[in-house]
Structure 1
Amino acid sequence: MTREFCAENMELVPAAVAAGAARIELCDNLAVGGTTPSYGVIEAATHLAERRGFDVMCMVRPRGGSFEYTRDEVKIMRSDLFTAASLGVTGVVFGCLRDGHLDHELTSELVDMAHAPGFGPRHGVEVTFHMAFDALPADEQLDAIDWLAEQGVTRILTHGGPAGTPIEDNLDRLRSFVERAAGRITILPGGGITWENAERIAAELGVSEVHGTKIVRLP
């Protein structure tokens, strides 16, 4: 099982990797759901990853609040995505909405940018669509899974319900996501998953990846 540890900075990353985290999601400002980390943090993480053999996913989000972005914010996202890829991250994490619905145009543009041949030292990076997914209308989420899979998005990070609800309350909805994904795209459950319940929840959902700030037991 792949444990993705969500890190706000580098302070806990070495210990998290030693405790079993195979992938790190870097995001500043967790109090607002995460924003793009600094150049220095991304650089430090990728350098450590080269020595320790873990993956690094980088949040691309210019601010907290809604997932609907202005033209100026989109320019920032393009620049941050380019910077993260140039520093050697495994992938990037973003989510884009427009008028409360999936922003197909912007999402497609950023996915294409991330996947472009020769983009960064890895020649293209993975894409995770983050918990903006949970802000979509429930009756649009299954179709969104289909569309994101068709775009080549690697995974969807989702709590399966409103933020703050117990993860156990959302297992049925998460199972429907896993069933709809059908191996075409990874459903990455997060929010309320810890080192204590990760294996049980993964087994109940039939997933092989889990995400959280407490996904491994730290000293």
Structure 2
Amino acid sequence: MENFTMIPKAVAAGANRIELNDNLAVGGTTVSHGVMAEAAKYLNEKNIPLVVMIRPRGGDFVYNDTEIKMMESDLFLAQELGVDAVTFGALTRNNELDKEAMEMLIGAAGGMEIVMHMAFDEIPVAKQQETIDWLVDHQVSRILTHGGPLSVPIEDHLAQLQQTIALANNRIDILPGGGITNINAEHIATELGVNQLHGTKITGILK
């Protein structure tokens, strides 16, 4: 969901977990303190888990030390506000997992559930097995993935998503997302054998 406005509508339409972002046009960034606080309060009362995007800007996922500090600060805030889970990802210039940055961010998450977001899709396929192994070893719960470039429909990435699910081998949840709607959700879930999907239109177009 972008900002707070659509959250009550998504809940009413049957969403059973909410990911909160700002700036969905650039793939999502961290919302303001006020928005995060209000969303956490509202969803805690409804017993619906809140996942908050931790991303200081659009663009790539290669972060400098100042940006990592910003992300750590947002993680401490999310923890303080009672957020259930956080989603982030940091890469090197070679599009491999930035393990040093990830360790710092995981440390700052302090007990919140951690989701690796679609930065995973930038990692070369040949490096994805070792990436999954590292994420499992560092108690990351889920990987959000489109299976390839977002410019290509998710239906064309089903073979890659099946491979990722096989590599995960039930050690970490693989959460398909990007271009999933109430129209294609059932087909994708059946094809992949998954029981959770991610998307802004899974419950239909909210008005």
Compute the TM-score of the two structures, normalised by the length of structure 2.
Answer: 0.96
Map 1:25-64 to 2 at 5 A. 25-64=19-58
Q: Which structure 1 residue ranges, 5 or more long, are not aligned?
A: 1-6, 117-123
Q: Which of 195, 201, 210 matches 2:182?
A: 195
Work out the CA distance in 1 between the residues paired with 2:194 and 2:129.
Answer: 17
Aligned counterparts, 1:16-95, within 5 A: 16-95=10-89
2:139 to 152, 168, 172: 152
Pair 1:142 & 2:129 matched: yes
The answer for the alignment partner of 1:107 in structure 2 is 102
1:211 aligns with 2:184: no
Give, in angstroms, the shift of residue 142 of structure 1.
2.1
Higher percent of residues as strand = 1
Contact preservation (8 Å) 2:180, 2:199: yes
Tell me, in whole angstroms, the C-alpha distance in 1 between the residues paired with 2:118 and 2:44. 28
SS of 1:192's equivalent in the other structure is coil
Q: Is residue 51–residue 83 contact of structure 2 (8 Å, CA) maintained in 1?
A: yes
Cα deviation code 1:141-195 (max 9, x no counterpart): 1221111111110100000011110111000000011111111100000011111
State the partner residue of 1:4.
none
Alignment-derived partner of residue 92 in structure 2: 98
Greater RCO, 1 or 2 (C-alpha within 8 Å, sep 6+): 1
Question: For 1:166, which of 153, 173, 190 is the aligned residue?
Answer: 153
In the alignment, which residue of structure 1 is the partner of 2:166?
179
Q: Alignment partner of 2:119: what SS?
A: helix
Gaps of 5+ in 2: none
Shift of the alpha carbon at 1:113?
A: 2.5
- The structural deviation recorded for 1:61 is 0.6
Q: TM-score, normalised by structure 1?
A: 0.91
User: What is the number of equivalent residue pairs in this alignment?
Assistant: 205
Written as runs of structure 1 = structure 2, the 5 A alignment for 1:121-136 is 124-136=111-123
**Identity rate, percent:** 53
RMSD of aligned alpha carbons: 1.1
Distance 1:206 1:164 in 2: 24
SS of alignment partner, residue 98 of structure 1: coil
C-alpha distance in 2, partners of 1:49/1:82? 19
Deviation, 1:87, is 0.6
- Provide the C-alpha distance between the structure 2 equivalents of 1:136 and 1:179, rounded to a whole number of angstroms: 17
